[in-house]
Structure 1
Amino acid sequence: MPGPTWEYDGYRAAEERLRESLCTLGNGYFATRGALPECTADDVHYPGTYAAGCYNRLTSEVAGRRVENEDMVNLPNWLPLRFRPADGNWLAPDTTAVTEHHQVLHLDPGLLERRTRYALGDGTLHVRQLRLVHLGDPHLAALRTEFTATGHPVELDVEAALDGSVTNDGVARYRALDGRHLTHVHVGTATPGTVWLRCRTRTSDIRFGLAGRLTAPVPVRHANEAHRAVQRLWPRLSPGDTVTVDKTVALHTSRDPAISDPLRAAVDRVAAAPGFDELLESHRAAWEQLWRRTELDVPGEAGSILRLHLFHVLQTLSPHSTDLDVGVPARGLHGEAYRGHVFWDELFVLPYLNLHLPEVSRALLRYRHRRLDTACRAARDTGRRGALYPWQSGSDGREEAQRLHLNPRSGHWLPDHSRLQHHAGSAVAYNVWQYCEATGDTDFRHGEGAEMLVQVARFWADSAAWDEPLGRYRIRGVVGPDEYHDAYPGAARPGLDDNAYTNVT
């Protein structure tokens, strides 16, 4: 395929987590990490899937304390497709000799291609896969797998699944916390060739429905298990022959508009979905239209790197984001670091979106406006007027930053003063102003935008105190973007005075 690519040659277990992040595919509604479908979550691989705005809150017992955290939820894994010789073990690069392994992220059409050659005695099994998370229809994803045998015939055992046994386990330092966000997992068969899975989050009560359709030139049998909707097939490959297996998946959540039940919506959508070739064609067309609106022409190596970064921004924040009540997660939809929380990162992406996708910028600012009342309550709790936006935000806009953190080396609980980064509110105000200046959206400026600007200004007016000896106002007890300097040595209270960045903004 022509066009810019991001490629990896050879299999290196130590690099897999990074490769999976950079090979993530998404469409603004959900994203799936670039893990190999035959591999399960372990210390090497982590096949996470995340839907924008889907959080859940749990309380954990850690080192004698009860700790509450809200996380972006790792959804049921739609990827699993493993294979083996009929009389052998499941094949994976960590357990089977690999003579060739190549991954290519095609940036123009938003496709992930992999080619792997497994050694089987005096022959080989060549596996080629194409994966997409559909940009035109945000509820669809598809995986095409082509098996080719060389040297001698191969009887293959192929298993595809929707796996609801997943947890949030992608970040090592969070593993002492409860990561079991999904409950009431049920699986079943909709029609021959199509299985389903439904579940919900434990406290936020967001319901999920997934449906998977498997098509192949041989019969597909269902073998559902607890928490896993399983399909099996046994193709026979003669030397030089290729067998193609297509897996098409639909995902819906109870946050979606215009549906009555996520599972019914997913089953209906996957039933109506066209075949892989037609899905690929419409997916490529959607990316072509999006690149036409958003492309930046920068030559050389810098342009190639910028293209990769823009690709991942657009997978997290696409035109589909306009219908969602979501912010900008610090790590996108690519993993569980920072728990999927919203910090101040829209400050860095809105200047680009304002010019290319202003409707997405407006939607991100409306996420902040919907949480303005919560920010005003936070300010009142500190004895001030106006709005105090949180350093870490999630579903409802409360402060998600912890007050204490456990030092993993000493085992001691230490204060976390990151919530004193009040400049997050200044970033919201700055973003409102820049959006209105770039777009000329006077309706937003005079309505929701003005409300946020006024309330942030009121907070800073109440935060500034007159210093008579210096003859000027001062802002005390804050933390700037350099969050490693959060207090003066030996000081009785946390925070710094007159942080340059905070004062300027």
Structure 2
Amino acid sequence: MNLDYIIPNDWSILEEGFDPKHVKASESIFSIGNGAMGQRANFEERYSGPTFQGSYIAGVYYPDKTRVGWWKNGYPEYFAKVLNAPNWIGIDVFINDEALDLYKCKKVEHFKRELNMKEGWLSRYFIATLQNDTKVEVSVKRFLSLDMDELGAINYSIKPLNSNATITYRPYIDSGITNEDTNWDDKFWDTLSVSHQDNQAFIQAKTMKTDFYTCTFMQSQVFVNDGLVAIEPDTSSDSNSVSFGYTHNVKEGESYSIHKFGGYTVDRNHDKYELVTAAKSVLNKAVKEGFNTLLENQKTAWSKIWEMADITIDGDVKAQQGIRFNIFQLNQTYLGKDARLNIGPKGFTGEKYGGSTYWDTEAYCIPFYMATKDQSVARNLLEYRYNHLEKAIENAEKLGFSNGAALYPMVTMNGEECHNEWEITFEEIHRNGAIAFAIFNYHRYTGDYSYIPEKGLEVLIGIARFWHQRATFSRDKNKYVILGVTGPNEYENNVNNNWYTNYIAQWCINYALENINTVENQYATDYTRIMNKAKLSKAEMQEWKTVADGMYFPYSEEKEVYLQQDGFLDKELITVADLEKSQRPINQKWSWDRILRSPYIKQADTLQGFYFFEDHFTTEELERHFDFYEPFTVHESSLSPCVHSIQAAKLNRMDQAYTFYLRTSRLDLDDYNHEVHEGLHITSMAGTWMSIVEGFGGMRIKEGKLSFEPRIPEQWNAYSFKVNFRHQILKVNVCKGHTHFELEGDQDLHIVVNGEDVTISPNNLVTV
């Protein structure tokens, strides 16, 4: 059963009514972040019901030693884990000596939770009757500052409704926390010091093994009816925590509030011996500005993001809520300020996948960041991989490759492979192709070639060397084959000649050769430097070319389609439509053996290749492959519906495109895969943006120009989006029957609409 308690709204995620069964799901859905840190929507006060506590600091991780039943050569030593960081949000609340705990209250009424995406804050409101019969009205608002990204702020207010009440706020910070996800129940944090002074408290702690030094800090002020009250707190501390108690006798109908400021300073940004000093500076500025001013600044910062990134949909509130939720969470996770960071599939919303970097970034996220930010943000994501090239070469060496062949990791924090399921770690090698495709995609979109001679060509050479060595010459086929792989469809392991893998391998080699030639002709100094560094000869390049030209692709003459891999037609080809609903999702209902023998596809595989390389194939070929593969696709990967939505729109199957769009945009809000309690699907959210811009908007880059083939679902009256294309911002507004284009800037932009050349002049509405 899908979730259905999230109330449709254009700009907010809303939950009304308190249901303990929804708490863990809501902790994920209502998560907040600011690119530097993030947290699940845990309650500030105590909660004794089922909960998943989680606060996370960008770039801070722990190498949890690999745990497998049977060790295999080449296995990574560890699986990196994003760490549940010391807790700064906690505020224990006591009302007439009873702890406020919604799980234990006699009655909880008028409960409402709101994640305001327009302004970037999270709030709760409820009326609770405690076991001691005291009735209180509680309202809470918190946010993580975009302007001061080491700071979070909370305004927690209580009003007694049926009697006077003695209320104690006990804000605390605590480093005695554990991860939900751990292989050996290791201790991840070592607390170094706990200190406090003048309403300020600090815990210095470092991660075990990786030695990331952090300071968790807090300071609070209390108010009665918005007037600041000076209360000398009683202080309590132990080896892992410190708390301050602020007690006040509150009259019935009066409000008693606490403003708590907290967050983290880390040695990624400061000297490790200056973390407390840096934290004091943050707190002093926060207290001086105050909660309300900080909140106004937050609203302004988010309005600047939305000015460029917003997509409007007229006439379909669930679709509108879905796309804004996806855009909001992407911006909470990564803002492009720090080239050392990347985008984890769960962002700051949970611990699954270790919070690490996957090929999702290159395949799905880069288009979103290129078009909604400055191109430097996308370039930072490319440089992240260049900075890890030596590690990618090491990863390949561990598996027996040589001569500078590079295999980028399936999962990484620092460039090392840290994923340890053999069928993915060793065999899902198509990820190398996405790294190269992102370089191509960046150049195609931005027109900035400089990255390739400066850095990208070295990456392309390492990847081409890998594919050259990974291919095997088959005497039987008189072709080069690639054996023992897992394609994007992880419901097939250890297959031979996965079409997508073979195709992208051939493309990578040819793309590397093409760019070596360009750099040789146009960037002679870079060419000499790179060739000397890589020790690359013309003879080796000719060997690559032989492999690329002789690559084998499985094909069915009868079906007139490329086969997902050798032997695909040997399967019992029962479509998903003929699979009993009670058997879904198959990854939770079937044995792995049964899944592997089935024809069912977790996500776009062959069709992923048709998405990347659409212009290599005719529309008729796309249609034939879509009609063959989509009926076997169960879409149990979050990365699947967006690709199918884009292709259905290309084929003008708008009902199908809309259905896939709604699934990708509301994957977490409606919990399609029954796993939202573990965290959100952040990287696939970029696919939701692509579903509208590339799917319905039909945006492509053709011969260096923006091209559009706009379509509109019948459920919508209109939709609009903006793209930053080569430093010119184009607004596209699609209505039924026509499309408006508006350009910001000072130069004309030549685009293509439905195959016709159109010139857009700045600040001049053009209707097509």
Same fold (TM over 0.5): yes
Q: Within 5 Å, which residues of 2 pair with 1:91-130?
A: 91-97=100-106, 98-120=108-130, 123-130=134-141
Aligned match of 2:216 in 184, 187, 210? 210
- Residue 71 of structure 1 is matched in structure 2 by 81
Post-superposition shift, 1:390?
1.0
Q: Within 5 Å, which residues of 2 pair with 1:7-406?
A: 7-39=14-46, 44-59=50-65, 68-88=78-98, 90-97=99-106, 98-120=108-130, 123-169=134-180, 171=181, 174=182, 177-190=184-197, 192-216=198-222, 217-221=229-233, 222-256=235-269, 261-273=274-286, 274-299=289-314, 300=316, 301-318=318-335, 321-346=336-361, 347-357=363-373, 358-381=375-398, 382-385=400-403, 386-394=405-413, 396-403=414-421
Higher CA-based Rg: 2
8 Å CA contact 1:39, 1:45 repeated in 2: no
Taking the aligned partners of 1:269 and 1:344, their CA distance within structure 2 comes to 36
Q: Which runs of 5+ in 1 are unaligned?
A: 404-414, 487-494
Q: Equivalent residue of 1:286, what SS?
A: helix
CA spacing shift, 1:62–1:327, aligned 2, 3 Å: same
- Residue 492 of structure 1 is matched in structure 2 by none
8 Å CA contact 1:103, 1:114 repeated in 2: yes
Post-superposition shift, 1:219?
0.6
Post-superposition shift, 1:443?
2.0
Structure holding more strand per residue: 1
- Letter of the 1:210 counterpart: T
Taking the aligned partners of 1:220 and 1:195, their CA distance within structure 2 comes to 14
- Letter of the 2:151 counterpart: L
8 Å CA contact 2:63, 2:209 repeated in 1: yes
Post-superposition shift, 1:212?
0.7
Q: Equivalent residue of 2:392, what SS?
A: helix
8 Å CA contact 1:478, 1:496 repeated in 2: yes
Q: Equivalent residue of 1:261, what SS?
A: helix
Post-superposition shift, 1:504?
2.5
Post-superposition shift, 1:323?
2.1
CA spacing shift, 1:3–1:277, aligned 2, 3 Å: farther
8 Å CA contact 1:218, 1:235 repeated in 2: no
- Letter of the 2:179 counterpart: N
Taking the aligned partners of 1:291 and 1:215, their CA distance within structure 2 comes to 32
CA spacing shift, 1:295–1:380, aligned 2, 3 Å: same
Taking the aligned partners of 1:138 and 1:264, their CA distance within structure 2 comes to 16
- Letter of the 2:158 counterpart: F
Taking the aligned partners of 1:329 and 1:233, their CA distance within structure 2 comes to 39
Taking the aligned partners of 2:161 and 2:87, their CA distance within structure 1 comes to 31
- Letter of the 2:334 counterpart: L
- TM-score, normalised by the number of residues in structure 1: 0.89
Q: Equivalent residue of 1:209, what SS?
A: strand
Q: Equivalent residue of 1:298, what SS?
A: strand
CA spacing shift, 1:111–1:199, aligned 2, 3 Å: same
Taking the aligned partners of 2:92 and 2:68, their CA distance within structure 1 comes to 36
- Letter of the 1:399 counterpart: E
Taking the aligned partners of 2:351 and 2:69, their CA distance within structure 1 comes to 22
- Residues 308-345 of structure 1: per-residue CA shift (max 9 Å, x gap): 01111111111xx4324122211112111111121111
Taking the aligned partners of 1:201 and 1:220, their CA distance within structure 2 comes to 34
- Residue 545 of structure 2 is matched in structure 1 by none
CA spacing shift, 1:184–1:151, aligned 2, 3 Å: closer
Aligned match of 1:419 in 413, 421, 426? 426
When structure 1 is superposed on structure 2, of 127-136 and 95-104 the one drifting more is 95-104
8 Å CA contact 1:163, 1:228 repeated in 2: yes
Structure holding more helix per residue: 2
Aligned-pair RMSD on alpha carbons? 2.2
- Residue 497 of structure 2 is matched in structure 1 by 498
1:6 aligns with 2:13: yes
Q: Equivalent residue of 1:442, what SS?
A: coil
Post-superposition shift, 1:79?
0.8
8 Å CA contact 2:359, 2:410 repeated in 1: yes
Percent of matched pairs sharing the same residue: 23
- Residues 193-225 of structure 1: per-residue CA shift (max 9 Å, x gap): 211111000111000012211001251412223
When structure 1 is superposed on structure 2, of 472-481 and 113-122 the one drifting more is 113-122
Give aligned pairs, total. 475
Post-superposition shift, 1:48?
1.1
8 Å CA contact 2:20, 2:49 repeated in 1: no
CA spacing shift, 1:441–1:378, aligned 2, 3 Å: same
Post-superposition shift, 1:60?
7.5
Q: Which runs of 5+ in 2 are unaligned?
A: 1-8, 223-228, 505-768
Taking the aligned partners of 2:353 and 2:19, their CA distance within structure 1 comes to 26
8 Å CA contact 1:58, 1:203 repeated in 2: no
Post-superposition shift, 1:123?
4.7
Taking the aligned partners of 2:232 and 2:295, their CA distance within structure 1 comes to 23
Post-superposition shift, 1:298?
3.0
